[in-house]
Amino acid sequence: MSLERNNPVARLHQILIVIGEHTAQDDRLTVPLAKSMGLSGSDDGFAQAITSFITLVGDARKTVKTSARAISPHESLVIIDDLNKFILSSNIWDLRVKSLKGWIDSKYVLSHLAMLSASVSQEHTKAVLSKEMLAQLVDRLTRIKEEIINSDLSVDLRRFLLKKINELIWDIENYSVSGLDGIKSTSDAFIGEITIRDKGGLEKDSDKRNPLFISVFSIFATLSVIAQVNATYLEPILSTIVSSIDITERYLQPKTEDFERISTVIEDALSRKESFEEAIGEVVEKIKKEKNLYLEGKQPKLLPGSSQEEE
């Protein structure tokens, strides 16, 4: 499984390759564009592909501008800006594959993006969620929405949860385009808003202790924790252990059982802690300690699901 999905430059490079390899050069650009993003070949799919592609070009530019490793940053920005201008100056709905391919070939865009992607890849190595896990999350969230509608949670909280779940489902369904960033942003925002509501005493105590609410919170919190642990604790040491497949699989490619064990410990923390902040903090520290022990060659049992006791 590729770890480049969270690297906007790599995603842009891969999409342009798919466009260039499209055999029907007279097709509209939207056809291979939607296909490269796993979107439907309908007008809705084409519209989403166009919006996502323009956003991706902007994300790639931001990546280059903020990267300390990007090769030839000025030249790289010029290439990305020129690509953006070419797209925006055209009628993108009617733009043909051969037109963009001709422009890309004349500017040697693919070769430059390949080198640029490699130069910034270390800074964008984050957790990669499997298709199976993403599908299970969408299914689980869809079922939870029905439970919320028919629950005894307060009306205001029900509306809030349904709105946030819809946002998260959208991020999950667009994971092939936006990677982990959208999921992380929505999950972090959810936790922040719930924390503010909690401090303001806006939720009934029965809402806070409701198993359905705790289940929803644990899903958002688990996704946030997975992203936070990788971004904060794992990336700084990748340069020295990047060849360790075990480390990569355990912390950058979390499996369904990893998700479930983090969810379990979050729910346990919520049942014991007074605030949501304290619960999340406890979980992050436990996973951080588990990771450090694992790197030392031990198999800790700090979270549910580990196979051995801490040595």
Among candidates 300, 297, 274, which has minimal Cα distance to 289? 300
Residue for token pair 């990305």: 80
Q: How far is CA 219 from the centre of its chain?
A: 14
Helices (H) and strands (E) in the chain, counts: 16, 0
pLDDT at 141: 94
pLDDT at 103: 92
CA distance 141 to 287: 25
Q: Determine the angle formed by the axes of helices 180-199 and 155-173, rounding to 10 degrees.
A: 170
pLDDT at 234: 37
What predicted TM-score, i.e. pTM, was given to this entire model?
A: 0.54
Beta bridge partners of 85: none
Residue for token pair 């929505």: 186
* Structure confidence by residue, pLDDT tens digits, 96-144: 999 999 999 998 898 888 888 777 765 554 556 778 888 889 999 999 9
CA distance 69 to 72: 9
Q: Could you give the dihedral angle defined by the CA atoms of residues 191, 195, 197 and 201, in that order, rounded to the nearest 10 degrees? A: 150
Beta bridge partners of 28: 96
Question: What is the pLDDT confidence band of residue 162, given thresholds at 50, 70 and 90?
Answer: very high
* Structure confidence by residue, pLDDT tens digits, 174-224: 887 667 778 888 888 888 888 777 666 555 567 777 888 888 888 888 887
Among candidates 179, 166, 296, 176, which has minimal Cα distance to 220? 166
Among candidates 64, 67, 84, 87, which has minimal Cα distance to 76? 64
- Spans of all domains in the chain: 4-124, 131-295
Residue for token pair 């688990």: 222
Backbone angles phi, psi at 127, to 5 degrees: -60, 140
First to last CA, the chain: 31
Is residue 35 within 8 A of residue 49, CB to CB? The reply is no
pLDDT at 308: 38
Cα Rg of the chain, angstroms: 22
CA distance 141 to 164: 10
Residue for token pair 């794992």: 234
CA distance 86 to 108: 15
CA distance 24 to 42: 18
Mean pLDDT of the chain: 75
For 73-82, 120-129, 282-291, 294-303, which range has the lowest pLDDT when averaged over its residues?
294-303
Q: 259 or 141, which is more confident?
A: 141
pLDDT at 284: 66
Residue for token pair 């800790």: 300
Q: How many residues does the chain have?
A: 311
Which residues fall within 8 angstroms of residue 6, CB to CB, at 6 or more apart? Answer: 124, 125, 126, 128, 179, 180, 181
Q: Which of 212-216, 255-259, 266-270 has the highest mean pLDDT?
A: 212-216
pLDDT at 10: 82
